[in-house]
Amino acid sequence: MQDRTGPSGVYRFEDRPARPIFGSLLRGAALKCPACGTGAMFPRYLKVADACPHCGEELHHHRADDAPPYFTIVIVGHIVVSLVLAVEMAYRPPLWLHAALWLPLTVILTLLILPSVKGALIALQWALRMHGFDPDAKEEIVPSFDADLVQDSPRRLDFRP
Ligand SMILES: [Zn+2]
């Protein structure tokens, strides 16, 4: 690890390399590595590369989880519901035409937007140095199963009245 202590030997938080949030978001939304903007973040659809193929920045620290689908639903919902209401108010088409228009549009928009949303969220985590994206952070503490809580021990949880 690079020594980031100043002349007094004190660690200086502000000496860490800058990670601009907006620029990182744009790179992630373009499905590129947030660090270099060149390497592909996704070798396959929604499959995040362990490390950037161009600069080697580790990307496996991300914890996107279910946030990308959540934000994709918000975005696609606002687009499609607005269009449904506008078309209904203007033309009053039959219901079968609504279904024929909006169901495919919803699926297509979702599949198109989801990777960019996931890329932007991972880039945001990288820019904010979350979830192991901070090279100076200690290892993340993962809660593990504690056998003392099950077997007889002074630390055993007792819920009996
Ligand atoms: Zn890179």
pLDDT band at residue 130 under the 50/70/90 scheme: confident
pLDDT digit string, tens, across residues 86-110: 999 999 999 999 999 999 999 999 9
**Are the CB atoms for 40 and 53 separated by under 8 Å?**
yes
Query: Please, what sign has the CA dihedral across residues 134, 42, 66, 143?
Result: negative
Is the pTM above the cut of 0.85?
no
- Rounded to whole angstroms, how far apart are CA atoms 161 and 31? 56
Radius of gyration of the chain (CA): 23
Task: Check: CB of residue 49 under 8 Å from CB of residue 31.
Answer: no
Distance 55 CA to ligand 1 centre (A): 4
Ligand 1 centre and the CA of 41: distance in Å? Answer: 8
Distance 118 CA to ligand 1 centre (A): 16
40 touches 33 (CB < 8 A): yes
CA end-to-end distance (rounded Å), the chain: 53
How many whole angstroms from 110 Cα to the centroid of ligand 1? 26
Dist. CA 51 → ligand 1 center (Å) = 8
Return the number of other C-beta atoms located less than 10 Å from residue 116's C-beta. Answer: 16
Average pLDDT, the chain: 83
Residue 142 has pLDDT above 80, yes or no: no
Helix, strand, coil % in the chain, rounded to nearest 5? 45, 5, 50
Length of the chain: 161
pLDDT tens-place string over residues 46-57: 999 999 999 988
